[in-house]
Structures are given as structure tokens and as C-alpha cells.
Structure 1
């Protein structure tokens, strides 16, 4: 059972997706990730997009820590149901609707966005078997939808190759935590 680590909804237990088709981010990795994001100052008032959301744990953690809007995108009906449950828990704790859930594939979701939709933080934890060209296409589609100062975080197996960053995105950090590696990127050519 995972939980919200900190913020307004800190301590709330979250539902997990049953079975072994998703792998929840460990509390250790989640704590390190959000400590870094807090240090970057990207959470307060942010528009957050959690792609391949699984249970939505990363997105709802963002909401608890001060994000203004969070969209969880998950294709699996079972996982999207868990996202809806966890979003409801956090929205009730916050007293307003911050977290929304879209049951959709990631690429179709991105393709439907309006040109003015922009994100301050994008969290991506794609399934390990997702082919690298598909991940690269998601990143390419995402790049023009990032606000100034945005951060993109990709979580993959530490044995996976690093993501291919398209024009418009550049990696600025990475960190390994056992079997998990996090890559951080930002819009290219921005401070």
C-alpha cells in the first residue's frame, strides 16, 4: 500500500493497481523525486501531467504538495479506476477538484490537446516494455506543450537506455535508485 508522503493530503493511503502489470514508484524514489522538484520550485501552482499514470500516485502527490491542476492519463480501465479512487481521496482532502483522470492512451491524449495547453511538470513512468521509438514520439509531441521553466521526469528501469530527447527538450540530470532511474529534462535553450 502506498501513501501520500507530504503536503495537505500527507499520510493518506492510496489504492494500488492489482496484479503485476504496473510497478508503483517506491516511497524512497518518490521522496527523492519530490525533494528535487521542491528544490526546483516547480510544484507550487503548477499544471501537472502524469502520463502512464498507473495508480496516479505521482500526480496525486503533486496535488498534495501544491500543484494547481493535475491530469492523470492512463489507458487501462482497471488502473484508471484506481486513479479515479485516488484522485477522489485527494480532491476531498484538498476540498476542491485539483486532480482529473483521463482514460486514454498517452499519444491520443496529447494529440487531442489544444495548442494553448501547457504544462509546468510532466511525470512519465511508461511500462518498461514500451519501445524506445514510442517513448521518443511521446516526448516529441510533448515538447511544444511545455511552459517556460517546465520539468519533464521520465522513470525507467536502470537497465533501459536513456530516452532519446527530441529537439526542444534537453536532459539536465539523471539519478539511479537501485532498479529505477529518473531522467530530468527541460525545454531546450531556456534557463
Structure 2
């Protein structure tokens, strides 16, 4: 995986093969950040990365100047890798090893962007818990955005607060916003 823009543009990051991850493709990541670039100043936002895996999305935000980034994953190896990578690049990424749903129930902090990349084989109920908890617990700032990455074969358009989806290859991003 590589960082596609910003201070660390072009840097390659190689995650250990034993991690249970599926990093967002460069094509999908570039398209997503083009959308976000037209909406936000990256140095003015806070980001929560759920099911962070390798930290791929965190590194992209950090490279573009975001200084408030929290990565949450329940896999110790993933958290360790994100910590090591963030430290080696001197990136302002904090981590929490936690079940994502428990974290969403307990946190009180609000974020500008919440990005979730759960396993693609989740059923609709597991996917629906993410926006449900984010909006029930009011975790987004006023102009905030929840982005859920999933397979293009998964349809989240029936979930509350859904605004749109964008497909890139086999990947899709569904966007959720406050009404």
C-alpha cells in the first residue's frame, strides 16, 4: 500500500502478511479523498477510523495535515502495526484496541469524519449498527460525515441517515449525514 498525496506522498507501507486485513485499494482511496478534499480542510478536522486494520486511511489523513486521528481496531497486531508506522513517520495517530461497537457506545467525543471499513462479509444487521450507534450517540460534528466502506454488492441505502454511495471497482463507500 502507498500514501497517495500530501507530505508522505509515494511512501510505501508494507503490512505483515499475518494481519487479518483488506486495505482499501489505491484507486478507491484516491477517489474518496478527491471527494473529501472538496468538502474539508484536512488540517481543521478530526477523524475516527473504525476497523482501522493497517491504518491505511489514517496515514492518508495524516499525510494531508490532519492532526486529530484515532484508529480503533480489536486486533492487537493491527494496533501494534499502526502505532509503529505512525511513530516511524512521526504521524499524530492515536490508537485504541477495542471492539468497535463497544467503543461507539462509550465514547463521548465528536468527529468531523468517521470512517468505517468493517469486514465485507458482515450481514446487513452488523453494518446497520455502525450508523445507528454513531447517530444515536451524536458522535459527528455538525458538518460531519460517516463513511462506510463495503463490497459493491452490499446495499446500505435503506439505512437511516444514508445520503449516497460511490462504487470504485469492487469497493463502495456509503455516506451518512445528519439531517
Give the TM-score taking structure 1 as reference length.
0.85
CA contact (8 A) 2:142 2:178 kept: yes
In the alignment, structure 1 segments of 5+ residues that lack a partner are none
| Structure-2 residue corresponding to 1:153 | 147
**1:7-156 alignment runs, 5 A limit:** 7-19=6-18, 21-41=20-40, 43-90=42-89, 92=90, 98-114=92-108, 117-143=109-135, 144-156=138-150
- Secondary structure of the residue aligned to 1:3 is coil
User: Displacement of 1:64 after TM fit?
Assistant: 1.2
Matched residue count:
177
Aligned mates of 1:20, 1:52 — CA distance in 2: 12
Q: What's the offset of the Cα at 1:123?
A: 0.9
Give the C-alpha shift of residue 108 in structure 1. Answer: 1.2
Instruction: Indicate the SS of the match to 2:24.
Output: coil
In structure 1, what is the Cα distance between the partners aligned to 2:16 and 2:131?
A: 25
Report the equivalent of 2:171. 180
The alpha carbon displacement at 1:161 in A equals 2.1
Give the whole-Å Cα distance in 1 for the aligned partners of 2:19 and 2:172. 19
Which 4+ residue blocks in structure 1 deviate beyond 4 angstroms? none
SS at match of 1:86: helix
RMSD across aligned positions (CA): 1.8
Give CA-to-partner distance per residue, 1:64-116, whole Å, 9 cap, x none.
Answer: 112120000111122222221222233x1x5xxx21011111011112212xx
User: What is the TM-score when the length of structure 2 is the normalising length?
Assistant: 0.90
In structure 2, runs of 5+ residues without a counterpart are none
- 1:110–1:42 distance in 2 versus 1, CA, 3 Å: farther
Tell me if the contact between 1:50 and 1:71 (Cα under 8 Å) persists in the aligned partners: yes
